[in-house]
Structures are given as C-alpha cells and as structure tokens.
Amino acid sequence: MGKYWKVLRLFWSAAIAAELEYRINFLIATLSSLGNLAGSLFGLFLFYRTGYTFAGWSWEAALIVLGIFTLLQGFSAIFLAPNLNRIVRHVQEGTLDFVLLKPIRSQFWLSTYTISPWGVPDLIFGSIIIAYAGQRLGLKVENYFLSLLPLFCGLLILYSLWFMLGATSIWFVKIYNVTEVLRGLVEAGRYPMIAYPATYRFFFTFIVPVAFLTTIPAEILLGRVQINWLIGTALLSVALFWISTYFWRFALRFYTSASS
C-alpha cells in the first residue's frame, strides 16, 4: 500500500502542477458551475413556486438532493472524466501496452493517473447548498456523519459503472456516446426519485441505480431512511466494484497488443 500512496502523490502533484499553468480555466470552470447550478435551481423552483411539493420532500429537502448531485458532478470532473475517458484513447493509440507493463495494477493506474482541479467549484457550491438546507432543516452533526457512508458508496457505484463502460472500449473502440448516455442518466439524480413516475423510479433504482447516488444519501442525511436501504447501498457498491475489477481482467483477455 505504501508504494501505491507514493505513486498517487507523484501522479497528483504532477497533474495539479500541469493544470495550474492555465489558471484562467478555474474562473471558466467556476462560471460554468454557477451556470449549471442556476439552471438546476431554476428547474427545481418551477416545481415549488406554486406551493406544489414532491411527496415528503420540502423545498429544503429537495435542495439536499441537488447539493449531493452537485458534489457528484464535482467528483466526476476531478477524478472520473480526466481518467476514465482516456481509456478509449489508450486502446486506440496502443498506449495501453505501456500501462499493462508497469509494476502496479492497471486499473489503479487508469483510474488515478491524473486529476483536474476544475471540479472544485462544484464541490464548494454543493457543500454550501447542503449546509444551507441543513441549517434550515435543523440537521445535527451526526446526520452529516451518517450520510458519509452512503455518499462514499454512491461515488463508488458511479466509478464502477463508468469504469466498466470504459473497459468495453477493448471490443467497441468508439464508446464516447455510451459514457455520455451514462452522464445523461445520472442527470436524473438532481431531483428526488419521487419526482418521476413509478416506471422511471423502478428503472433509476434497480436498472441504473441513480437513486443510490443522490436520493438515498439525502434521505439518510435527513434521518428517515430504513436500515435495509443503507445496507443495500453498501452491498451494491462493493458488488459493483468487485464486478468492475473482474470485468476489466476479463476484457484484457481480448486485448490485442499494439506491438503484436
């Protein structure tokens, strides 16, 4: 593990140094995050402006979901998009060979090689929204601590799904549209699942587990979710991560080296 932490520090220090050469990008990323957040708030406001509420979800409770979704966007921009979208390029250009020859796990290398600080504004704005809504709802510190586990599990679920899609590039080289479809489906997580018809709720819970990314962590933060959902979230995240690992190993059996 010590070797991996040392490699991780080298990866990220080099990545941040390279990204900070273009500091104006941070301003652009901040403005982009503000624009996206304003659009999300406006969309949510359209539902609540006439006094209508999603069943069991006040305005402040719905803001919690939106705040968690914004955190998820920040995490994706910092860690997932810069790394996992490059898997396709590695396969196309044959540079995956060099990754496989390195004395560390290829999945670790592909998942952590770089980071982008331009997702930090989303993390800040998401935290502000959650803190504001939590203060209005009178949430206690223990509520926030309890929500850390399902939030981490949600991040692990999103990573596992994204990585498995990236791994399919070994068979289907051009899969950029597929990852965009996943990102589009995750967009549904900006609102509580109760906002959607029953068929969509089933799809976003048991087919593409978007509900486990935002709604369930929000309900745990609000202190009203059943323990079986918490256990289910943890089990699902571990299972998907395990599947992503073995799926990658399976996919590598079909990888044809650029040098062969």
**Mean pLDDT of the region 157-163:** 94
Q: What is the mean pLDDT of the chain?
A: 88
Q: What is the pLDDT of residue 6?
A: 87
On the question of pLDDT at 15 being above 90, the answer is: no
Q: Over pLDDT 90: what percentage of the chain?
A: 43
Confidence band of 178 (pLDDT split at 50, 70, 90): low
- What residues have CB less than 8 Å from 141, skipping those under 6 apart? none
On the question of pLDDT at 111 being above 80, the answer is: yes
**Tokens representing 93?**
């250009």
Q: How far apart are CA 65 and CA 219, in angstroms?
A: 9
On the question of pLDDT at 176 being above 70, the answer is: no
On the question of pLDDT at 53 being above 80, the answer is: no
On the question of pLDDT at 66 being above 70, the answer is: yes
How many Å is the maximal CA-CA distance in the chain? 65
Which of 69-73, 95-99, 141-145, 175-179 is the least confident region? 175-179
Confidence band of 233 (pLDDT split at 50, 70, 90): very high
On the question of pLDDT at 121 being above 70, the answer is: yes
Q: What is the pLDDT of residue 1?
A: 66
**Mean pLDDT of the region 84-107:** 86
On the question of pLDDT at 260 being above 60, the answer is: no
Q: How far apart are CA 69 and CA 212, in angstroms?
A: 11
